[in-house]
Structure 1
């Protein structure tokens, strides 16, 4: 089939393009051409700007594709432009959204029919921590209004794997590799759950090949923190609690991807993938995700917000607190 990917040269988009090419499909990639990762042999590269209105989409005019996979839609303005143009040019529209659309993120588990945030207004263009979820809600609505049953909405939780430049998930395999005492919390009470970008990409191919319709959470295996670090052979872990972290002045956003299960966002690490698995989602072993991420990240020397100095400071504070209470 002929596939159009809106955005597709970095991380998630790149994996999606590679998955379609590997499955034998022809892929056209529509980007601004500014990413340093534009080397996708076998794909056609179309240049444009989603924020440029009709002129920005000129490269798409007069063409038809069997499906469009939208990886780079964040604002209603962008989605109105792309769906308005492509409604008569593609047979199916696959939109990559996010679990951040869910309004009650403390639910266990989070399912596709859970309440969503109120949609952002069509004139909102600034993507922030507060507007991101509502913007994606409105983008989903625009896709559904334009394509009806001929659309698929994918809602990934935190995406991991090779190519992850976000400085979130890679922190952990990189931290284990560095050695020394590792600060971690919620050993047996809390969980981590991510979706490997390659699993998301393969499901996008399945969604197109099988002409799926509807909304699907993209979530991987749910793994306890002790198990997650043990499978990577972390030798020296200082386990603490979310309460102790708070007393030490550590925000949960500071320790990458850690969310207490009973916290306001605990459900983000308990996202149901039942619907997607029934439709063909296959999952990479969590250890393979960690190892492959480390292999990609090792030569890059990523600087993380939770620095070795900050970790040592918190470990000292926790050690002093333990000494006072013993």
Structure 2
């Protein structure tokens, strides 16, 4: 039986990988709606161009269909949710909102599960990102109200740190760039902070399993591998997959802060989330971090070779 799925976003990183994975599924009918700045041009994907913030463009650009699911990768505010759901023509059975583990308040408990308290205001200590987590909280609340009013089932997904193909955030590329340029990788000393990630392909596969699954209706899920990772572990894995010793520079957190070094993950707090709720539901086994990082490094190097070749042709 085919599934008609509308993806909001879908051109970058998580959304793009989701579309690629969805196309492998039998009976998938995939539509995407975004501003058209990076067309997918994929067989099996119907693209609709418009701005989600403009109600008229939502109404005019997206056809009236019986959508089995709307998967929303780029709802950052309550208005984003409301403008979309209130102006979609046709019917929607399930709305999957991609949120974030950043919605949780800081807590001493670890790992953080879906029942942990969420933010009740902005986080000024995060500077330009002060509103991000709180606005995502408000977007979740808006989705619950709108879905209840419109008779749509809601599934909220909160990924931890995502890595993998097409990542535009300077996370794993921090390490890859330094490897490529033969520069030392800074490691905090002591290296006490622990994180857990999710490989973008695993995230896409979990999202797909939620579509049309009654056990996922009305639920909120963290998406996170249970494998603990630290700066030292990342260096260790890079050494394993490259077969070479990785040059490191161990610095005290105070020195890192004084030097304003742009490390991609915190050096003084843990970011560990409990993703077992959805993993148990689908009997899902995450890709080991070593394997995911190896595939991501292959992709990164292929991109750099392509860029070098393109530069040589000019």
TM-score computed with the length of structure 2 as normaliser: 0.82
* SS of residue paired to 2:279: helix
Q: CA deviation at 1:275?
A: 1.0
Structure 1 gaps, min length 5: 121-126, 303-326
Q: Counterparts of 1:187-202 in structure 2 under 5 Å?
A: 189-202=192-205
Q: Of 179, 182, 187, which aligns to 1:184? A: 187
Q: Counterparts of 1:115-194 in structure 2 under 5 Å?
A: 115-118=117-120, 128-148=128-148, 150-186=153-189, 189-194=192-197
Change in CA separation of 1:58 and 1:196 when aligned onto 2, cut-off 3 Å: same
Partner Cα separation in structure 1 for residue 156 and residue 190 of structure 2: 34
* SS of residue paired to 1:202: helix
Which residue matches 2:273?
Answer: 271
Check the 8 A contact 2:50/2:58 in 1, yes or no: yes
Q: CA deviation at 1:147?
A: 2.3
Measured on the aligned residues, the alpha-carbon RMSD in Å equals 2.5
Check the 8 A contact 2:94/2:212 in 1, yes or no: no
Which residue matches 2:249?
Answer: 238
Partner Cα separation in structure 1 for residue 251 and residue 259 of structure 2: 13
* Aligned: 1:33 with 2:36: yes
Q: CA deviation at 1:286?
A: 0.9
Q: CA deviation at 1:161?
A: 0.3
* SS of residue paired to 1:92: strand
Check the 8 A contact 2:100/2:158 in 1, yes or no: yes
Which residue matches 2:312?
Answer: none
* Aligned: 1:255 with 2:263: yes
Change in CA separation of 1:103 and 1:192 when aligned onto 2, cut-off 3 Å: closer
Q: CA deviation at 1:181?
A: 3.2
Check the 8 A contact 2:72/2:96 in 1, yes or no: yes
Which residue matches 1:215?
Answer: 220
Change in CA separation of 1:128 and 1:139 when aligned onto 2, cut-off 3 Å: farther
Structure 2 gaps, min length 5: 240-244, 306-314
Q: CA deviation at 1:102?
A: 1.1
* SS of residue paired to 2:91: coil
Kindly provide the CA deviation profile for residues 94-146 of structure 1, in whole angstroms up to 9, marking residues without a partner as x.
Answer: 000111111225542221111111268xxxxxx95111111111111121122
Q: CA deviation at 1:177?
A: 4.1
Kindly provide the CA deviation profile for residues 198-239 of structure 1, in whole angstroms up to 9, marking residues without a partner as x.
Answer: 111001101114231211111122223323211211433233
Q: Of 225, 233, 251, which aligns to 2:231? A: 225
Check the 8 A contact 2:54/2:83 in 1, yes or no: no
Q: Which moved more, 1:211-220 or 1:97-106?
A: 97-106
* SS of residue paired to 1:190: coil
* SS of residue paired to 2:33: strand
Q: Which 4+ runs in 1 deviate beyond 4 A?
A: 299-302
Which residue matches 1:52?
Answer: 54
* SS of residue paired to 1:133: helix
Check the 8 A contact 2:157/2:221 in 1, yes or no: yes
Which residue matches 1:305?
Answer: none
TM-score computed with the length of structure 1 as normaliser: 0.79
